[in-house]
């Protein structure tokens, strides 16, 4: 059973005062921000590493050698490793210390960055980017998970806005910083990788001091097989997308092999996850409609998000001849839009608890922004481009964080890491596939436009261009003026095509968000946001987000009927109107505690695995209230149903369990072996009724034990059936309302019946033996009848007056 251990940390909520917060007290805004400072710095490092190279890439590729394919893979390699490892980081966050994991992610990032700065060729750089991506994947996934662990969903919108703002600052600061470094002769592009290292080290120190989270202690088993298979599936798919149309045709045996292999690996991943005890992506999460749709929307949003951050640098540097520094400056409108929308939407969502309108509006803006950017050319006026970028940024800010937020609002604390990482995984997957595919599209379109442009200039110009259209990143300063104009036009038009091809994916994201059902954000914390030292057995309880430090504490114990504690049980405090006011996790000592928002009547609900949930009404006056809760354990009932003669199993028999009041507790049918099983039955006296075709029913009293499963084997006697028609008169017409009586060999009346309008009668559940059948209506007629096996079918009786 999972337990948490106390540390000097604090938990989510509000308080009227600052300063030191004692154990169990709510957390002030200042303390939340102190705890988030290191997390935000780590998030800044993650985004910085992804964006700082964007404006330096043209010069990096020119220096190290390579064409558009190498350009794309420097970006895709990091996205690929980030995508493949995000679910693994999320699962590890459900099993291990989140604080330790985020520090490990920072160390991995630092190692990859240092070696990347020493790269001697594009192959080495791409390999280092893979290592960087592993660390960035951890930082990206864990930032959302840790935020959810500290703060309630309702309040989380506000702090998600801070994450969005950090994302915006890093996104705009990265290209600017990368451009300045690249343009500074005594630094050079290699410092684009070194500059993030000091920030990462500072983040490590700040996190060590300020971040306090629950440490979950339980036996764990990491799904390494699932991580390996999904990494292989994603990698194979991205390799195909990158090289299709360049190294081989889209319709080729290589395409069939790679796509088929990805599908097979995907199916294998589903199989592995369905069998894993601790799956990296619990498949049951996708039974939740919101999680499935949010993941699908994130997949499409990822295409739009990464297209905007990757290809703008090529547009401004190659199509508009801007420096790397100015290339970053010119993207500020998009980042400003993202900054404003993520911050404002977070604040409004916190105030109202409503989020769907922001998602839908964001989908409209992203689609519109990409569609407008699809119309730009190398000589389009900048203010037009600035407006288009601002529209795109506004939409992205409304969608990215809120897709994660609505998912986190739908899951249990135990699945928080996995669910958060699932959405992040699909966003990264969309970005990786998008960058790979769109990079291939850009190379193809640029080549096409260059060839058209050179053809217009004539054969002499084509010869002068040399390898200008050969797929390498051109050095515009070395090209003759006419050729340079052709190249600038080709890149301007090619990048616009990339945005245009991205717009349908944004439209799909918008359509998906329409079907996401809005559920108002919860006010209670999803997970106790307090880390406790390993030597203390108490569990931190979640303080109600709506409660102030009123001093009106509701506390008590949760115990079984035998008086033992129930650690890990959940106690929820709700208003009489059904609003959740607080939730606490029971400590190892069986105790719980949280603050009530004020005097009044409330309902306490206690639940735990293996126990029947209990609810009770409590009244809080002007002081603390102690209220103990009693949980009744659940047990099981198993058994078999066989035939009394021969002992053959009875398939399809109906088994019904009722309590002493006659209410049905469970029902089901036996399997091919005659077996049945019911779980989670309340211990005590019950009645088990068994019925089956061709057998006589039985009802048996059973005492369900307090633990484990009670065994009950039932032998059903054969139940024969006798039916037929009573006829009368010369025309042998069916006789209605005739009385038919069945008498056994001892002279006892076994059953009686009255024929219906068709003259038919029937007797069921008869034992084998000799019977006398008497029919009246006209003068009575009696006859002997032998019943064996299943009974007698079509035993007709003729009645007549003496004169007939």
Find, among 718, 716, 763, the residue nearest to 744 by Cα.
763
pLDDT at position 442 over 70: yes
Q: With residue 632 as reference, give the H or E element that holds it.
A: strand 629-633
As a whole number of angstroms, the distance between CA 38 and CA 725 comes to: 88
Confidence at residue 52, expressed as pLDDT on a 0 to 100 scale: 74
Residue 365 has pLDDT above 90, yes or no: yes
pLDDT for position 538: 31
Q: What is the DSSP letter of 538?
A: P
Considering the chain, what is the average pLDDT of its residues? 74
**Mean pLDDT of all residues in 243-257:** 78
- Res 392 pLDDT > 80: yes
| pLDDT for 772 | 83
Higher pLDDT, 43 or 379: 379
pLDDT (mean) for 196-205: 78
pLDDT at 33: 65
What local confidence, expressed as pLDDT, does residue 367 receive? Answer: 92
Convert 271-284 into a string of H (helix), E (strand) and C (coil). Answer: HHHHHCCCCCCCHH
Question: Which residues does 498 contact at the CB level (< 8 Å), separation at least 6?
Answer: 307, 311, 438, 441, 442, 445
Sequence-distant (≥ 6) Cβ neighbours of residue 611 within 8 angstroms: 560, 566, 569, 631, 632, 633, 634
Q: pLDDT at position 14, please?
A: 33
Counting residues of the chain whose pLDDT is more than 70, the rounded percentage is 73
Architecture of domain 553-630 in this structure: Sandwich (2.60)
Q: Parallel, antiparallel, or unpaired: how do β-strands 720-728 and 791-793 relate?
A: parallel
pLDDT reading at 487 higher than 80: yes
pLDDT of residue 385: 92
20 vs 212, more confident: 212
Look at residue 332 and tell me whether its pLDDT is greater than 70.
yes
pLDDT for residue 289: 81
> Would the pLDDT of 388 be above 90?
yes
Write down the architecture of domain 634-716 according to CATH.
Sandwich (2.60)
pLDDT at position 60, please?
Answer: 79
pLDDT tens digit string along 344-362? 887 787 677 677 888 889 9
CA–CA gap between residue 101 and residue 692 (Å, rounded): 58
What pLDDT does 398 receive?
A: 86
DSSP string, 136-168: HHHHHHHHHHHHHHHS-HHHHHHHHHHHHHHHH
The residue-averaged pLDDT of 562-582 equals 74
State pLDDT tens for residues 707-734: 667 888 888 877 777 888 888 877 778 8
Q: Is the pLDDT assigned to residue 642 strictly greater than 80?
A: yes
Summarize the confidence of residues 329-347 as an average pLDDT: 81
Q: What is the pLDDT of residue 633?
A: 63
Query: Residue 1: is its pLDDT beyond 60?
Result: no
Inform me whether the pLDDT recorded for 250 exceeds 60.
Answer: yes
How far apart CA 454 and CA 383 sit, in angstroms, is 30
- CA 651/CA 667 separation, integer angstroms: 15
Give 110-147 pLDDT, tens digit per residue. Answer: 888 888 888 888 788 888 888 888 887 787 777 767 76
Residue 563 has pLDDT above 80, yes or no: no
Give 632's pLDDT tier (boundaries 50, 70, 90).
Answer: low
pLDDT at 373: 92
User: What confidence tier does 543 reach under pLDDT thresholds 50, 70, 90?
Assistant: very low
- For residue 658, pLDDT over 60 is answered with yes
DSSP helix/strand/coil, 134: helix
Sign for the pseudo-dihedral over CA of 235, 237, 242, 248: positive
- What digits encode the pLDDT tens for the residues 731-763? 778 888 888 888 887 778 878 888 888 888 888
Q: Do the Cβ atoms of 368 and 403 come closer than 8 Å?
A: no
Which pLDDT tens digit goes with each residue over 400-439?
777 877 776 666 655 665 676 677 778 777 777 777 778 7
pLDDT beyond 70 at 521: no
Q: Is the pTM of this model over 0.75?
A: no
| Fold matches, 634-716 and 720-799 | yes
Summarize the confidence of residues 156-178 as an average pLDDT.
Answer: 65
For residue 24, pLDDT over 50 is answered with no
Q: Which residue has the higher pLDDT, 422 or 334?
A: 334
Helix %, strand %, coil % for the chain, to 5? Answer: 50, 20, 30
Name the CATH code of domain 720-799 (choices 3.20.20.70, 3.30.70.980, 3.20.20.140, 2.60.40.10). Answer: 2.60.40.10
pLDDT tops 90 at residue 444: no
Find out if CATH 1.20.1250.20 is the number for domain 3-223+276-514: yes
Residue pair 736/755 in contact (Cβ under 8 Å)? The answer is yes
Q: Where are the domains of the chain?
A: 3-223+276-514, 224-275, 553-630, 634-716, 720-799
């Amino acid at each position: 059973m999972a337990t948490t251990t106390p540390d000097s940390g604090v938990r989510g909520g509000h308080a009227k005062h600052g300063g030191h917060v004692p154990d169990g007290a709510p957390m002030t805004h200042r303390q939340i921000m102190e705890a988030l400072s290191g997390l935000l710095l780590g998030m800044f490092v993650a985004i910085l590493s992804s964006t700082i190279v964007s404006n330096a890439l043209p010069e990096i590729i020119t220096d190290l050698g390579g064409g558009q394919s190498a350009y794309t893979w420097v970006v895709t390699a990091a996205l690929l490793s980030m995508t493949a490892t995000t679910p693994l980081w999320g699962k590890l966050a459900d099993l291990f210390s989140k604080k330790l994991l985020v520090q490990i992610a920072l160390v991995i990032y630092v190692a990859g960055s240092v070696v990347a700065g020493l790269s001697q060729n594009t192959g080495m750089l791409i390999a280092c980017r893979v290592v960087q991506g592993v660390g960035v994947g951890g930082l990206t996934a864990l930032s959302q998970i840790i935020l959810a662990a500290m703060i309630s969903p309702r309040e989380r919108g506000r702090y998600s806005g801070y994450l969005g703002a950090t994302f915006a600052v890093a996104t705009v600061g990265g290209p600017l910083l990368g451009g300045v470094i690249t343009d500074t002769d005594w630094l050079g592009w290699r410092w684009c990788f070194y500059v993030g290292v000091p920030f990462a080290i500072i983040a490590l120190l700040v996190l060590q001091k300020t971040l306090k989270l629950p440490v979950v202690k339980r036996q764990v088993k990491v799904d390494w097989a699932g991580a390996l298979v999904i990494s292989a599936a994603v990698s194979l798919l991205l390799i195909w997308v990158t090289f299709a149309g360049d190294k081989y045709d889209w319709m080729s045996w290589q395409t069939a092999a790679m796509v088929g292999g990805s599908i097979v690996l995907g199916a294998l991943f589903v199989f592995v996850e369905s069998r894993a005890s601790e799956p990296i992506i619990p498949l049951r999460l996708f039974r939740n409609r919101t999680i499935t749709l949010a993941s699908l929307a994130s997949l499409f949003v990822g295409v739009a998000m990464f297209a905007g951050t990757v290809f703008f640098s090529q547009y401004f540097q190659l199509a508009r001849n801007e420096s790397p520094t100015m290339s970053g400056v010119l993207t500020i409108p998009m980042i400003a839009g993202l900054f404003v929308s993520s911050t404002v939407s977070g604040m409004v969502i916190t105030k109202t608890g409503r989020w769907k309108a922001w998602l839908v509006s964001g989908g409209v803006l992203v689609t519109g922004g990409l569609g407008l950017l699809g119309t730009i050319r190398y000589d389009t006026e900048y203010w037009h481009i600035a407006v288009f970028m601002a529209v795109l940024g506004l939409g992205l800010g409304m969608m990215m964080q809120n897709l994660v937020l609505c998912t986190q609002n739908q899951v249990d604390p135990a699945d928080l890491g996995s669910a958060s990482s699932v959405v992040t995984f699909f966003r990264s997957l969309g970005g990786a596939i998008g960058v790979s595919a769109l990079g291939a599209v850009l190379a193809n379109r640029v080549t096409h436009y260059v060839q058209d442009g050179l053809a217009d200039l004539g054969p002499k110009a084509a010869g002068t261009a040399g390898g200008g259209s050969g797929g390498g990143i051109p050095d515009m300063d070395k090209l003759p003026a006419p050729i340079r104009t052709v190249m600038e036009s080709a890149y301007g038009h090619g990048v616009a095509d990339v945005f245009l091809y991205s717009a349908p994916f944004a439209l799909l994201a918008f359509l998906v968000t329409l079907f996401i059902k809005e559920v108002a954000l919860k006010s209670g914390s999803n997970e106790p946001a307090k880390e406790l030292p390993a030597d203390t057995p108490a569990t931190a309880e979640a303080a109600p987000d709506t409660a102030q430090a009123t001093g009106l504490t509701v506390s008590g114990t949760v115990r079984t009927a035998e008086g033992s504690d129930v650690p890990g049980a959940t106690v929820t405090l709700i208003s009489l109107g059904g609003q959740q006011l607080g939730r606490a996790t029971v400590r190892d000592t069986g105790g719980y505690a949280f603050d009530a928002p004020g005097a009044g009547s409330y309902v306490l609900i206690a639940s735990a695995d293996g126990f029947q949930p209990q609810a009770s009404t409590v009244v809080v006056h002007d002081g603390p209230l102690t209220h103990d809760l009693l949980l009744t354990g659940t047990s099981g009932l198993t058994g078999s149903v066989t035939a009394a003669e021969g002992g053959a199993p009875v398939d399809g028999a109906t088994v019904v369990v009722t309590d002493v009041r006659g209410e049905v507790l469970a029902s089901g049918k036996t399997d091919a072996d005659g077996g049945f099983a019911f779980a989670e039955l309340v211990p005590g006296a019950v009645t088990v009724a068994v019925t089956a075709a061709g057998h006589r029913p039985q009802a048996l009293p059973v005492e369900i034990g307090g633990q484990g499963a009670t065994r009950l084997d039932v032998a059903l006697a054969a139940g024969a059936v006798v039916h037929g028609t009573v006829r009368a008169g010369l025309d042998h017409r069916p006789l209605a309302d005739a009385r038919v009586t069945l008498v056994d060999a001892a002279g006892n009346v076994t059953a009686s019946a009255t024929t219906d309008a068709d003259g038919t009668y029937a007797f069921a559940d008869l034992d084998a033996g000799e019977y006398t059948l008497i029919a009246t209506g006209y003068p009575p007629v009696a006859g002997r009848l032998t019943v064996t096996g299943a009974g007698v079918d079509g035993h007709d009786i003729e009645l007549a007056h003496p004169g007939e």
